[in-house]
A and B are shown apart, each in its own frame.
Chain A
Amino acid sequence: MSQLAKVARPRRTREGSPWTGLWAVVTKEMADSLTSVRMSILQLLIVLTAAGTVYAASQDLKDLVGKDPFIFLKLFTTGRDPLPSFVGFLGFLVPLIAIALAFDTVNGEFNQRTMSRVLAQPIFRDALLLGKFLAGLFTLTLVLAVIWLLIYGMGILVLGVPPGGEEVARSLWFLVVAIFYGGVWLAVALLFSIVLRQTAAAALASIAVWLFFTIFWGIIAQLLAQALVPMRLGTVQEVLDQAKLEMSLTRLSPNTLYAEAMLAMLNPAVRSLGLVLPFQLQGAILGTPLPVSQSLMLIWPHLTGLIAVTILLFVLGYVLFQRQEIRT
């Protein structure tokens, strides 16, 4: 009996590196997504959004040249009612791009009947899955980096001044936050592409999760907080407790983590992400600006939160993918 069990489960020692073939997968997937119609449309959309919002913002900011030391950062955060700022737009463009990049990664291979052919090559499934995820992340990085350069180009042209070192540093962190935020949605879409065999179902499921966090989670967090910490006496303590719980709950949403991290990174005046702050980016906050390192300390939990969620989702997908039988 024990003899047989040993024979049947010999997986423990695997030969070779699990990353054999990783770069072949990454380069192929990146080439695919960069040349796909789907991505061209999204790239066009994001370029138009960036150009539109940043141009509008720069018109409003012209008068502040020389007075505001962080005028380039305001290019990202200034919105013209009723339109949100560029950062606000990114809040839903990044998930959209990430989902578009990943919703058909695994089930697409099954549907095209290429999965068994690829996995019959000398690579592990690890390399295939990670390669696909990294390709999505690199593509997203590439798109965002191009947008970033575009915005700086426009800023220099319209405002007529070069950006300061502090501004560049902060907006590079803005890039990092946006990429990590995209990583979460890549992992969500990848997971659905593993679980659901139909690509359309995976796309819809990913969008449903995104809608849930964008629209409903705020309301649910509020209701939950009211139910869990009811107002009995109406003391200040009760009000505070309830508000604290509500904020903790909203921070379970990657959207909140993104919005708060952006707020702190692009507004040097933001000194804390505590209760007093509204979750809007245009809040006028008084006080002396923080150095970049201090702002970074402020958003560190947010960054690690985003990374942790990404890793968790990826590992879950990885485990499920390892167990799948490859018939097609």
Chain B
Amino acid sequence: MAEIVLETQGLTKKYGEFTAVQDLNLAVTQGEVFGLLGPNGAGKTTTILMLLGLTEPTAGQVRVLGLDPARQPLSVKARVGYLPEQVGFYDGLTAFENLIYIAKLNGLPRQEAYRRIDALLTQMGLDQVANRRVGAFSRGMRQRLGVAEVLLKQPQLVIMDEPTQGLDPEAAHEFLEIIRRLKQDGITVLLSSHQLHQVQAVCDRVGLFHRGQMVLCGTVPELAQRVLGGAYRIHLQAEGPADLEDAFRRIDGVLQVHRSAPSTYELEAEADVRAEAARSVVQLGGRLLALDIQMPDLDEVYARYFAQEVEHVPAR
């Protein structure tokens, strides 16, 4: 069993009557990438602020690396890197100067600070612009500078709030690569995002937030299994007899068949039934044009889960 680096119990934050985060129980283990996912206003940022001691919880407990952020804020902040939403820098200072300030606040000796900053700027592809003012940086460059800053203190845990927001698809993809590299280096990562589909691939586990509550928690296939019933969605294009649809339904493990176009079928199954589906087409004398399997999509999990929830709520 891996060591737990971050744990909350009954964590709650109220703003007056409004409950921003309600009774959150969360455990993140050493070395995993955990995603706090949910739409805007779901309570992700509030949760992160409480984890860092930047806002006081109304109730509940937090342990970060075995420490209490309210009692031992300096020890926690010395070990945890935080990349805030839309990270800001001193625009009038250069990238290097911005990092030097942070190094000083962390009490790093000068030589060590210079060494780490040079290495990190190179690692983040910013060595060419180290002496340029940050005011001229693009969003993606700022985000990478943010990662360099976070790594400056060699953290055990990195918390990132909406790290891919505002990045173009290519920059977002690059950024997800950076997160994977952090994981390889043994750093635990907690990230939040409202773009579920975009970040699901890097997360080992996710927690889905809805109106201040974490309603679902687990790996993406687990959640898909739970909510969508079938974790596997098969996309199939075939020309052939009209009863192809029925043939697919008879396959063991297939839960649903949807014909989205005359020759296009979507199969929802509990297992990977690509071979069986292909055999059915051939046996019935049809022509198989395309066949592929789709990873379950978190957006869909989310949408489906709340559609169910709404159905279950009794009408008043």
A→B interface (CB under 8 Å): 4, 7-8, 10-11, 13-16, 20-21, 24-25, 27-28, 32, 112-114, 116-124, 325-328
Contact = CB atoms under 8 A, between A and B. Distances in A.
Nearest to B161: A116
B82 A15 contact: no
B74 A16 contact: yes
A240 B72 CA distance: 60
Query: For chain B, which range describes its interface: under 10, 10 to 19, 20 to 34, or 35 or more residues?
Result: 35 or more
B154 interface: no
Given A20-B74, A325-B55, A112 B88 contact: yes
Given A112-B89, A119-B54, A122-B77, 19 more contacts: A7-B59, A8-B56, A8-B60, A10-B68, A15-B72, A15-B74, A15-B75, A21-B105, A21-B107, A24-B101, A25-B105, A112-B88, A114-B89, A117-B149, A120-B84, A121-B106, A122-B74, A325-B49, A325-B54
B87 A113 contact: yes
B77 A120 contact: yes
Nearest to A120: B82
A112 B71 CA distance: 29
Contacts of B72: 15
B45 A327 contact: yes
Contacts, number: 101
Interface in B57-106: 57-61, 68, 70-75, 77-78, 80-82, 84-92, 101-102, 104-106
A9 to B, nearest CB: 8
Contacts of B81: 120
A15 B105 CA distance: 16
A121 B84 contact: no
Contact of B104 (A24, A119, A124, A327): A24
Contacts of B73: 14-15, 122, 124
Nearest to A110: B88
Nearest to B84: A116
9 nearest A-B residue pairs (beta carbon): A113-B88, A24-B104, A120-B82, A121-B105, A122-B78, A122-B77, A16-B74, A122-B74, A116-B84
A8 B87 CA distance: 29
Interface string B43-56: 00100010010111
A122 B105 contact: yes
A21 B149 contact: no
A156 B104 CA distance: 44
Contacts of A8: 56-60
A182 B298 CA distance: 58
A326 B87 CA distance: 13
B88 A4 contact: no
11 contacts: A7-B59, A8-B60, A20-B107, A114-B89, A116-B84, A117-B87, A121-B77, A121-B106, A123-B77, A123-B105, A328-B84
A16 B72 CA distance: 8
A122 B107 contact: yes
Contact of A11 (B70, B74, B88, B92): B70
Given A122-B77, A122-B78, A116 B71 contact: no
Contact of A327 (B49, B59, B91, B92): B49
A113 B84 contact: yes
Contact of B84 (A10, A21, A117, A124): A117
Contacts of B90: 32, 112, 114
A11 B53 CA distance: 11
Interface in B128-150: 146, 149
A116 B61 contact: no
Contacts of A7: 59-61
A112 B91 CA distance: 8
